[in-house]
């Protein structure tokens, strides 16, 4: 477990000459901080910075108060800015150590490792920074191992999703093909032949042939048959004559 120790700079040796009021506000903020009233401490530190924007103690302690309210990204931004300032090595070391803690709490393990390294460069005797450095390395390793384990599972899920989509697409194609085949096999009615008055009239006329018309048709058939028989008889006589000649010869 990380050592959650913040370095509080109540009074920096480097202070800019200014009215006593900003220092009084810093001291007031320190009391609120010690009483764990971090929102009140933040207000006091901000008031001190309004009086003296160059107050390093006000800036550093404000970042501590923000950290304690778990606004780790904002506190990291503040500590990084302090670490870049022109300060003594021990002060830089404290700023980078708190920067590492902020990044570690935000689960930004790689940047926190770099921050702890900078803290140790400026203050090699900071054992808390050394401990948290190893802790951050272990957390980064665990994070990478978890990501490696999740990747095959995610790849498997993606493959299963693609297979399912392919099956659904193929099913849709098969259903469409079956529907087309059924439409081709089904006899198509000619819409032009449906509902025509002429066609309906012809159908009715064919069903309503009168008896007189039937007798006429029958008489015509008889006459045709009679003519046909006469032709056949005439043909037989001619054939008979031919055959007889062949026999006489």
Residue where a domain terminates, one of 123, 145, 167:
145
Q: Is the pLDDT of residue 235 over 60?
A: no
Helix boundaries (H) for the chain: 20-34, 38-51, 56-68, 72-83, 89-105, 109-122, 127-185, 197-207, 211-248
Task: Verify that 119 and 44 share a domain, yes or no.
Answer: yes
Task: Verify that 41 and 131 share a domain, yes or no.
Answer: yes
Task: Verify that 130 and 232 share a domain, yes or no.
Answer: no
The verdict on residue 176 lying in a domain is no
pLDDT digits (tens, 9 = 90+) for 102-116: 999 999 999 999 999
**DSSP structure class, residue 192:** G
Contacts 24+ apart (CB under 8 A), 183-189: none
pLDDT digits (tens, 9 = 90+) for 142-161: 999 988 887 665 556 666 77
How many domains are contained in the chain? 2
Mean pLDDT of the region 154-173: 74
Residue numbers of the domain that contains 240: 209-249
The verdict on residue 10 lying in a domain is no
Lowest mean pLDDT among 14-18, 59-63, 78-82, 200-204: 14-18
pTM of the model: 0.55
Contact 52, 16 (CB under 8 A): yes
What is d(CA 106, CA 231) in angstroms, rounded to the nearest whole number?
121
Q: Is the pLDDT of residue 17 over 80?
A: no
Task: Verify that 141 and 213 share a domain, yes or no.
Answer: no
The verdict on residue 158 lying in a domain is no
Task: Verify that 107 and 30 share a domain, yes or no.
Answer: yes
Task: Verify that 121 and 236 share a domain, yes or no.
Answer: no
The pair of three-digit structure tokens given for residue 50, joined into one six-digit string: 């309004």
Residue where a domain terminates, one of 145, 165, 193:
145
Residue where a domain terminates, one of 113, 145, 177:
145
Q: Is the pLDDT of residue 167 over 50?
A: yes
């Amino acid at each position: 477990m990380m050592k959650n120790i913040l370095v509080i700079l109540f009074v920096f040796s480097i202070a800019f000459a200014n009215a006593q009021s900003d220092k009084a506000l810093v001291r007031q903020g320190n009391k609120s901080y010690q009483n764990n009233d971090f929102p009140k401490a933040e207000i006091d530190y901000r008031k001190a910075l309004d009086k003296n924007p160059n107050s390093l103690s006000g800036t550093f302690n404000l970042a501590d108060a923000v950290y304690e309210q778990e606004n780790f990204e904002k506190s990291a931004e503040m500590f990084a800015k302090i670490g870049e300032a022109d300060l003594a090595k021990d002060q830089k070391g404290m700023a980078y150590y708190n920067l590492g803690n902020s990044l570690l709490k935000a689960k930004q393990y790689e940047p926190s490792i770099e921050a702890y390294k900078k803290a140790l460069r400026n203050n090699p005797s900071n054992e808390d920074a050394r401990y948290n450095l190893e802790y951050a390395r272990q957390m980064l390793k665990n994070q990478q191992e978890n990501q490696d384990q999740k990747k095959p599972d995610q790849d498997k899920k993606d493959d299963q999703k693609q297979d399912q989509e392919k099956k659904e697409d193929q099913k849709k194609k098969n259903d469409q093909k079956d529907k087309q085949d059924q439409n081709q096999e089904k006899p198509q009615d000619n819409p032009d032949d449906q509902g025509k008055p002429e066609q309906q009239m012809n159908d009715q006329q064919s069903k309503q042939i009168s008896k007189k018309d039937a007798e006429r048709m029958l008489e015509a058939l008889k006459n045709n048959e009679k003519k046909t028989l006469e032709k056949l008889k005439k043909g037989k006589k001619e054939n008979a004559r031919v055959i007889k000649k062949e026999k006489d010869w």
